[in-house]
Amino acid sequence: MLSANTEPGVCALAGGAYVTVWHPDKEPITIDGNVAVPGIEAGARHDPDRGLAVQMEYGGGVRTVIGGASIAVPGTLAALEKASQTFGNVNWKDTLQPAIRAAADGFPLSEACHYYLGYSAAPIFSRSADGFKSLHDNNGSLLESGACVVIPHLADSLAAIAAEGARLFYEGDLAARIADHVRAAGGTLTRTDLASYEAIVRPALSVGSNGWRIATNPPPAVGGAMLAAMLQGFADEPIKSWNQEAIAHLVRVQLAALSYRKNKLDLADDVGAAANEMLELATNGQLLSRWSSASTVHTSAVDSNGLACAITASSGYGSGEMPAGTGLWLNNCLGEMELNRHGLAAGPVGARLPSNMAPGVARQNKTVLAFGSPGADRITTALHQFLINYTQIGCDLDEAVAWPRLHIDVNGERPKLSHEPGIDLPLVDMNVVPYSSTNMYFGGVAAAVFDGADRLQAAADPRREGGTFVNRG
């Protein structure tokens, strides 16, 4: 809850989230709180505007659509409340207190947020008076990294949610403010969409890897299936180091999985069936031969009882819309065109939108690991490389997170391979974009592990500002 409200630009509460939880005595589950397609109410079937197309130079160039038409039904709060009610030991009101204090007193603008806002503040997050005020100084300049951010009305909204529960957001005064604002801005989200929303509990998607059982986000999200397929690409012969041969195989696996997604998974009418086909192809080795040719936060937690939880939340690139008096920035998930390739007219009504998010939990014997990452379409490639580092090469947790990464972008006419320094890259037949240092573009893995005896460990990615906390009391 704290991260979702103190990372302006990178995430916001009125977006989508997944929570993967593995109780030591039960099977792993994922709570699906992803955004949904609005328009349940008959009166919502009007012609919305087409939104506002925005081109940013972030990450080498991103095109997205913002404004009221881009806003999907948010589910983060519903998922977090269900997880708290089902597995939490702290009451809901106390859970929100750190976020309320940070919103009331102000919080420092992180370097990662400042970096993204350097591209997005003017075209997106300055569209509301309160949004502009919270991110700019008295001279109208974007706040410097480390400066104190106070978002008007956010503390009041969070305090009301703490006192009355998530239903205030879905059925009460906040719901009315959100829905009325979106309709006035040309979107299709109504009070009925909000009142009808429910977080869904699903069995987690499970895959084996080098003696580990890894559980992550199942379909209709695509992130978990992508991660599982890439892990299967390394299942037959686990690697011991990142030599040129291993990196060449990594490139083939990424290219195969990402190409399958672009050509088949993203446009499938039945995402679950297409994802299962991809996993079957990956398991029997046919994926490689057949197919080789944006703003999120994450928290991982484990305890000494073996309970593990991984939460990933996203609001897309942000719609720029903030209903008056709420302090809540709304998502633009209908406008994330590289992910939601059906565009603003996605359907059917009420369906969950595609998602790269893949929070996961893994077990081997008595050791339990929680992991996840932000990073749009880099989420699965970042997690894949982290898991290979930790479960196969045997890196310690910090090293597994910090190891140099590469990512293949298949969205252009020709694949593009971006990589950080320190990788012994083999010859590849694609455009290569070297980065001079580690960069937040490549995700931000957060992981926590308990070894079943007495050792708790946590690691945060140096690519994005994050923190670790170990309570041994």
Q: Report the SS3 class of residue 29.
A: strand
pLDDT value at residue 293: 41
Average pLDDT over residues 379-401: 96
The fold adopted by the segment(s) 202-298+356-460 is Glutamine Phosphoribosylpyrophosphate, subunit 1, domain 1 (3.60.20)
328-354 pLDDT per residue, tens: 999 999 888 766 666 676 778 888 888
Q: Please state the length of the chain.
A: 473
185-233 pLDDT per residue, tens: 989 999 999 999 999 999 999 998 889 999 999 988 888 999 999 999 8
Closest CA to 126 of 143, 104, 148: 143
In angstroms, how far is the first alpha carbon of the chain from the final one?
Answer: 23
pTM given for the model? 0.90
Distances in whole angstroms, Cα of residue 99 to Cα of each of 52, 90, 166, 302: 31, 15, 15, 21
90-106 pLDDT per residue, tens: 999 999 999 999 999 99
pLDDT value at residue 291: 45
Average pLDDT over residues 305-320: 93
Supply 304's token pair.
């000494």
Under the banding of pLDDT at 50, 70 and 90, the label for residue 294 is very low
Average pLDDT over residues 162-186: 95
Q: Are strands 52-56 and 29-33 parallel, antiparallel or unpaired?
A: unpaired
Residue 454 has pLDDT above 80, yes or no: no
Beta strands in 210-285 (DSSP E): 212-216
Higher pLDDT, 219 or 83: 83
The answer to whether 356 and 208 have CB atoms below 8 angstroms apart is no
122-148 pLDDT per residue, tens: 999 999 999 999 999 999 999 999 999
- On the question of a cis peptide bond just before residue 348, with omega within 30 degrees of 0, the verdict is yes
Which residues, 6+ apart, have CB-to-CB distance to 298 below 8 Å?
Answer: 3, 310, 311, 312, 313, 359, 372, 373, 374, 444, 445, 446
DSSP 436-447: SS--GGG---EE
**Domain residue ranges in the chain:** 2-199+306-345, 202-298+356-460
pLDDT value at residue 9: 84
Under the banding of pLDDT at 50, 70 and 90, the label for residue 13 is very high
Residue 292 has pLDDT above 50, yes or no: no
DSSP 386-416: HHHIIIII---HHHHHHS--EEEE-SSSS-E
Which residues, 6+ apart, have CB-to-CB distance to 33 below 8 Å?
Answer: 16, 17, 18, 19, 75, 76, 77, 78, 79, 80, 82, 199
Closest CA to 318 of 45, 97, 44, 125: 125
Higher pLDDT, 449 or 49: 449
Q: Report the SS3 class of residue 109.
A: coil
* Residue 58: CB atoms within 10 Å: 19
The answer to whether 155 and 171 have CB atoms below 8 angstroms apart is no
Q: What is the average pLDDT value for the chain, to the nearest integer?
A: 89
